[in-house]
Amino acid sequence: MLAALPVLALGGAFLSPPAIASATPAVPAPNAPAAARIDLVLDLSGSMNENDAGGQTRLAAARQAVTRIIDTAPEQAPLGLRVYGATYPGQDKKQGCADTQQVLPVTPMDKTARADAKKQVAGFKAVGFTPIGVSLREAAKDLGPSGERRIILVSDGEDTCAPPPPCDVARELKAQGVDLAVDVIGFRTPSSARSQLKCIAGATGGSYADAGDADSLTANLSTLFRKEWRTYHATGKPVEGSLAGCQDAPLVAPGQYLDKFTGGRDLYYRVKKRPDQQLQVSATAVAEGGYDRGSLITVAAGPPVKDGKPRDWLREFDQSMGWANIITTGGRSKPGAGEDKPAPDDTGCIVIENSVTKAGDKPMQVELLVGIADESTRETGARTPQPRTGADAEGGFSFNSATPIGPGTHRQSIAVGEAPFWRVELKAGQKLTVKAGVDVPADFPTSATTGWGLTVYNAKREAAECSSKAGATELLAGRTGRIERVCGPWQITGEGAGSPDAKGYDVPGTYYIQAQVAEPAKEAKGIVVPISLTVDISGTPSADTGPVFNFGDDAAQGPAPAGATPTGSQAATPANDDSSLAKTFVPAGIAAAALILAGAAFYAVKRRRTP
């Protein structure tokens, strides 16, 4: 069975819990656990003055990378900064090996702390020794004795002050508690020092990454911080759907809502739709512990019928392939739906059928997206966010926080298990091709279930087939170096104009792109790898632009610029939610293994139905 895995059509199999982009701070739920306390330990030894970091000194590159972290840190994220080798330029080893200072206490990054931190970074000088072991001990004190704590160490060489040997110090710190780990970036590091730095990360359960220039240092450092600040965060206006059917259901307008599955109960909502309007309903269920294979989510809408279940306007469903973290599906009503049997007062019903949870299960978050299209929305037009480039094009971690990008190649680094989202706007008549590449390091601990995944979701938030010849996920099977996956080219057609081979590319609008490296091996968790995403949009848009849906003021508008504060639906979380910003990241490898083994049956069970 494993021999056939590389060609399985997994579609959206590698779905990890999306998390908020670092540039989009979120309002945590009242019962959410405290964010991890992070202390950045930066090497300012004399070797950082060398001018080999992409045309600038290593010191200048470090300033750039750390400033980026300070600019994008969420306000509630406790961040501290310690340096070593920064003040003593002499040769006395005793003095040089005591040269470590906390220049910024571990504190939330409010406006004052952010300004102070940037001032400190601007004044950095690199002059002295490399007391890594001593600095790690002091950093542990900076973070306090309890709670989730992480040290992120950036060094361009090995310790010049042992004893104490840095790896022994790392083991010592780990023995203090499981909540303290050290992530390490080796910056222009020789092989002799790399083994020492990897030992520090490995001894504490942290991760290690190499950086060869300013851009890779910035990318890798940002990724390590994202790993601590991005936990799954479903967004939406709080709503409580009826468990008893349509009669008592709340009325929902266009927008994104956040509800939860309890037990095995379905969720009902009322919605108004005139016969001349089209309705879109999309639902995304989010699991903290993954899904049982065969779990099913269905959305349907229309006037209630005899069994109390609406279905005349639309009905779509999707089935889990195993330990996926989300199941997402959506549908749109056909033009004129309901004209033959108009709903009383134009009020119909939406149901999200829950074939996922059972009685006694922990409540599970569910996002509900509702949109309406008619002549007035077509005249108003859709709001299209400005595409981003460079560092600002780092992927977001949910549909709503997906980063808007345009044609071209976008580069960043991701940690193993991350699954960032991007979005592109497409019109009927255009063709979409997406190519994603990953650079797998020679020492990456691959196994038979290591996968490189690329998934494209259409404007209804359905996973669309990646390619007519192969699935969306490719097993690495011990391969290293450059590995690429391609989706498309696919013709975007008008609704109802697509052929059976369209596989979901028959809906103009916002398309979502997701990439991921998934690996079940514990030692691979958090490893940082560089990726690239190339988007090509060709063809001439047709004169018929199709329906333009209104999804409310805040839904699906993409992440805010750095430092912005979320408003409306993106800032809201239910008061009784106990998992927003919580530690809901399921080990991606477990999901990967189960999903791959189940992938052969994917297209046999995933179907689309319309009345």
Q: Which CATH number fits domain 22-229: 3.40.50.970, 3.40.50.410, 3.30.460.10, 3.30.420.130?
A: 3.40.50.410
Peptide bond just before 489 cis, omega within 30 deg? yes
Compute the average pLDDT of residues 284-306. Answer: 77
> Both tokens of residue 154?
């950036």
Tokens 């057609």 belong to residue: 493
The pLDDT assigned to 23 comes to 27
> Both tokens of residue 401?
């926080």
For residue 258, the SS3 value is strand
pLDDT tops 60 at residue 427? yes
Local confidence band at 177 (pLDDT 50, 70, 90 cut-offs): low
Q: How high is the mean pLDDT of the chain?
A: 77
**Which carries the bigger pLDDT value, residue 15 or residue 508?**
508
The rounded distance, in Å, linking the Cα atoms of 49 and 404 is 37
Compute the average pLDDT of residues 350-363. Answer: 87
Say which residues have a Cβ less than 8 Å from residue 528's Cβ, sequence separation at least 6.
207, 209, 220, 223, 224, 413, 414, 415, 416
SS3 letters across 22-83:
CCCCCCCCCCCCCCCEEEEEEECEHHHHCCCCCCCCHHHHHHHHHHHHHHHCCCCCEEEEEE
Note whether 154 and 62 are within 8 A (CB).
yes
pLDDT tops 90 at residue 467? no
The pLDDT assigned to 521 comes to 54
The rounded distance, in Å, linking the Cα atoms of 602 and 10 is 6
Compute the average pLDDT of residues 277-287. Answer: 90
The rounded distance, in Å, linking the Cα atoms of 208 and 182 is 9
The 10 Å CB-count burial string (b at 16+, else e) for 91-119 is: eeeeebbebbebbbebeebeeebbebbee
pLDDT tops 90 at residue 422? yes
Note whether 58 and 170 are within 8 A (CB).
no
Give the alpha-carbon dihedral of 37, 47, 95, 165, to 10 degrees.
60
Local confidence band at 358 (pLDDT 50, 70, 90 cut-offs): confident
**What single DSSP character describes residue 249?**
P
Compute the average pLDDT of residues 199-211. Answer: 88
The rounded distance, in Å, linking the Cα atoms of 526 and 134 is 25
> Both tokens of residue 347?
């009020």
pLDDT tops 90 at residue 578? no
The pLDDT assigned to 566 comes to 35
The pLDDT assigned to 381 comes to 64
Local confidence band at 448 (pLDDT 50, 70, 90 cut-offs): low
pTM here is: 0.65
Can you point out the beta strands (E) in 135-175? 149-155
pLDDT tops 90 at residue 34? no
Q: Between 111-122 and 58-72, two packed helices, what is the crossing angle to 10 degrees?
A: 180
Compute the average pLDDT of residues 381-395. Answer: 82
**Which carries the bigger pLDDT value, residue 23 or residue 326?**
326
* Range name among 444-448, 488-492, 588-592 with the lowest pLDDT average: 588-592
> Both tokens of residue 267?
């969720």
Percentage of the residues of the chain whose pLDDT score is greater than 70: 74
Local confidence band at 554 (pLDDT 50, 70, 90 cut-offs): low
pLDDT tops 70 at residue 8? no
SS3 letters across 283-338:
EEEECCCCCCCCCEEEEEEECCCCCCCCCCCEEEEEECCCCCCEEEEEEECCCCCC
Say which residues have a Cβ less than 8 Å from residue 555's Cβ, sequence separation at least 6.
236, 254, 255, 256, 369, 371, 400, 569
Local confidence band at 420 (pLDDT 50, 70, 90 cut-offs): confident
Local confidence band at 332 (pLDDT 50, 70, 90 cut-offs): very high
The DSSP-derived string for 568-579 is GGGT---TT-S-
Sheet holding 528-538, edge to edge: 408-415, 528-538, 431-440, 481-491
Which H/E stretch holds residue 172? helix 166-175
CA distances from 598 to 143, 172, 324, 578 (A): 43, 42, 11, 30
The rounded distance, in Å, linking the Cα atoms of 105 and 93 is 27
Compute the average pLDDT of residues 546-558. Answer: 72
Summarised one tens digit per residue, pLDDT across range 212-231 is: 888 888 878 877 776 665 55
* Range name among 130-144, 313-327, 339-353, 427-441 with the lowest pLDDT average: 313-327
pLDDT tops 90 at residue 307? no
Note whether 584 and 288 are within 8 A (CB).
yes
**Which carries the bigger pLDDT value, residue 510 or residue 500?**
510
CA distances from 285 to 35, 232, 290 (A): 24, 12, 11
End-to-end Cα, the chain, rounded Å: 37
Percentage of the residues of the chain whose pLDDT score is greater than 90: 36
pLDDT tops 90 at residue 538? yes
Note whether 511 and 573 are within 8 A (CB).
no
Domain boundaries, the chain: 22-229
The rounded distance, in Å, linking the Cα atoms of 210 and 529 is 9
The rounded distance, in Å, linking the Cα atoms of 170 and 204 is 6
The pLDDT assigned to 136 comes to 95
The rounded distance, in Å, linking the Cα atoms of 610 and 462 is 14
pLDDT tops 60 at residue 33? no
Compute the average pLDDT of residues 406-435. Answer: 89
The pLDDT assigned to 536 comes to 97
The pLDDT assigned to 301 comes to 95
The rounded distance, in Å, linking the Cα atoms of 185 and 322 is 34
Tokens 């919580």 belong to residue: 582
Local confidence band at 544 (pLDDT 50, 70, 90 cut-offs): confident
Note whether 571 and 559 are within 8 A (CB).
no
Local confidence band at 470 (pLDDT 50, 70, 90 cut-offs): very low
Give residue 405's identity as a one-letter amino acid code: I
Q: Between 166-175 and 132-143, two packed helices, what is the crossing angle to 10 degrees?
A: 20
Nearest to 180 by CA among 231, 131, 142, 154: 142
pLDDT tops 90 at residue 53? no
The 10 Å CB-count burial string (b at 16+, else e) for 562-586 is: beeebebbbebbbeebbbbbbebbb
The rounded distance, in Å, linking the Cα atoms of 239 and 24 is 23
pLDDT tops 50 at residue 207? yes
The pLDDT assigned to 384 comes to 80
Compute the average pLDDT of residues 383-389. Answer: 86
**What single DSSP character describes residue 546?**
-
Note whether 208 and 195 are within 8 A (CB).
no
